[in-house]
Amino acid sequence: MYSQCTLVLQVIMKTLFTILVLFFTSSLTAEEAANWGIITDTCENSLKIISLSKEIGDFEHDLTNKIYRGVMQSYMSGINNWTYEKFGMFKHLNYNSIDYAYSYLLNYCEKNPNNQIVDGVIKYFVELPFIEN
């Protein structure tokens, strides 16, 4: 009985955490947007979400970090395709590990809490070397 209650409580906590993440990272407006989703969130808010996930538990913290890493990788992949179309060259996205890239983003956010996540991702992307043909 105790393990069933614990399991139910864990499911409730994970559901609440997911709702919180979606609530804090979604901005519902009628304005036109060039970007949307987590990438447009402020660094300060994102760092709070990451910190909150750590307080909730290891699973939630790991999941939150995977989401932010995935957002970073996806956005840079999109920019990289545009870079190739415009300049005929790709950036070397895995020049550094994803752990390094993500640490770069977190460090950027700590220094620039009022900026958006996208600003840190673009700053990192620009610093990457091009792939030699």
In a domain, 123, yes or no: yes
pLDDT at 28 over 50: no
Whole-number pLDDT of residue 46: 95
Whole-number pLDDT of residue 29: 47
C-alpha span between 33 and 55 (Å, rounded):
33
In a domain, 132, yes or no: no
In a domain, 80, yes or no: yes
C-alpha span between 56 and 10 (Å, rounded):
10
Encode pLDDT of 67-112 as tens digits.
999 999 999 999 999 999 999 999 999 999 999 999 999 999 999 9
Looking at residue 39, the DSSP 8-state letter turns out to be G
In a domain, 104, yes or no: yes
Encode pLDDT of 6-18 as tens digits.
655 565 556 655 5
Looking at residue 32, the DSSP 8-state letter turns out to be -
Total domains in the chain come to 1
Whole-number pLDDT of residue 85: 95
pLDDT at 24 over 90: no
Structural domain containing residue 21: 2-127
Cβ(81)–Cβ(19) under 8 Å? no
Count of residues in the chain:
133
In a domain, 119, yes or no: yes
As given in the structure block, the two tokens for residue 102 are 């993500």
C-alpha span between 108 and 3 (Å, rounded):
42
Q: What is the pTM of this model?
A: 0.75
In a domain, 133, yes or no: no
Encode pLDDT of 41-62 as tens digits.
999 999 999 999 999 888 889 9
